[in-house]
Amino acid sequence: MPGQLAAIAALGALAGAIIEGGASGWTSPLVLAGFAVSAVLAMLFVLQERRAAQPMLPLTLFRHRLFALTSLIGLLVNVAFYGLIFVLSLYFQRVNGWSAFATGLAFLPMMGVVLPVNLAAPRIAERIGAPLTIALGAAVAAGGCLALLTIAPGTSYSAIGLQLVAMGGGLGLLVPPLTSTLLGSVEKSRSGIAAGVLNATRQTGSVLGVALFGSLVGQSDAFMTGAHASLVVSALLLSVAALVIWRGGAQAAS
């Protein structure tokens, strides 16, 4: 229980500091204190887990290269995707004046392409390998983010629909091999814990993505500037994810 409380408090302090950073400035004493508290609590969590007889998060799992890499990629991908979904939701409603229902429909093609690409991903991974498939999916999604940089107030949906589909397709392509690679990197007896770690890292990424991108678009007079910055950050995170798994997967195989 102390370890769980430390982890929750560390994530809360980090998310709070990121949110306040956009409003108060990244050098604000309150923001710096939030980052410091988060770091201290994270270290306490690690120490607690190292000493625990039955740790909530067995740190020995991260000795497996592919397990550590796929966990990191799950974090980076969710920071990028969930943060952007939050920003685009605000863009459709706050900037373009769409209803909540119309905004939901706008995401339908993006999410609708995920399932068929999910089904094709295992066959692609069999032909070119899981690491390269994950890297390809992340690269496609990054390209979709960069192509969205032309977005502006009043941009028609027809001008951004394909970019959204590319982002959804990239996500659909990388998730199945990401999950199978992570589960295959540990002993079968620990696959349940491994799946829980992946889910936890992805949920953590979701929280941090909304906090970070929300801070970028939080100021009413600079929404589009923040939206463009969010797209660039997402593209960078996805590109890093692609490079990490491509290089790391090759090293693990050799």
- Identity at 7, one-letter amino acid code: A
- For the record, the structure tokens of 69 come out as 């890499």
Mean of per-residue pLDDT scores for the chain: 90
Q: What is the pLDDT of residue 234?
A: 96
pLDDT at 250 over 80: no
Q: What is the pLDDT of residue 158?
A: 92
Q: What is the pLDDT of residue 88?
A: 96
Reduce the DSSP state of residue 129 to 3 states and report it: coil
| Cβ neighbours of 71 (radius 10 Å) | 22
> Hey, what's the torsion of the CAs at 154, 159, 165, 170, to 10 degrees?
-100
pLDDT at 35 over 70: yes
Which of 181, 152, 170, 151 is closest to 245 using CA atoms? 181
pLDDT at 53 over 80: no
| Average pLDDT of the segment spanning 179-202 | 87
Fold of 59-253: Growth Hormone; Chain: A; (1.20.1250)
* pLDDT band at residue 220 under the 50/70/90 scheme: low
* pLDDT band at residue 219 under the 50/70/90 scheme: low
Name which of 71-75, 181-185, 233-237 the model is least confident about.
Answer: 181-185
pLDDT at 207 over 60: yes
* pLDDT band at residue 40 under the 50/70/90 scheme: very high
Helices (H) and strands (E) in the chain, counts: 10, 0
| Average pLDDT of the segment spanning 224-239 | 95
Q: What is the pLDDT of residue 251?
A: 64
Q: What is the pLDDT of residue 3?
A: 63
Q: What is the pLDDT of residue 253?
A: 55
| Cβ neighbours of 1 (radius 10 Å) | 7
Burial 190-208 (b: 16+ CB within 10 A, else e): beebbeebbebbbebbbbb
> Rounded to a whole number, what is the distance in angstroms from the first to the last CA of the chain?
40
Q: Any idea what DSSP says for residue 4?
A: H
Q: What is the pLDDT of residue 8?
A: 86
Q: What is the pLDDT of residue 55?
A: 78
- Give tens-digit pLDDT for 88-110: 999 999 999 999 999 999 999 99
Q: What is the pLDDT of residue 169?
A: 96
Q: What is the pLDDT of residue 63?
A: 84
Which of 80, 82, 220 is closest to 140 using CA atoms? 80
User: What residue ranges do the domains of the chain occupy?
Assistant: 1-57, 59-253
| Cβ neighbours of 99 (radius 10 Å) | 10
What percentage of the chain exceeds 70 in pLDDT? 96
Question: How far is 183 from 190, CA to CA, in rounded Å?
Answer: 9
CB 139 within 8 A of CB 82: no
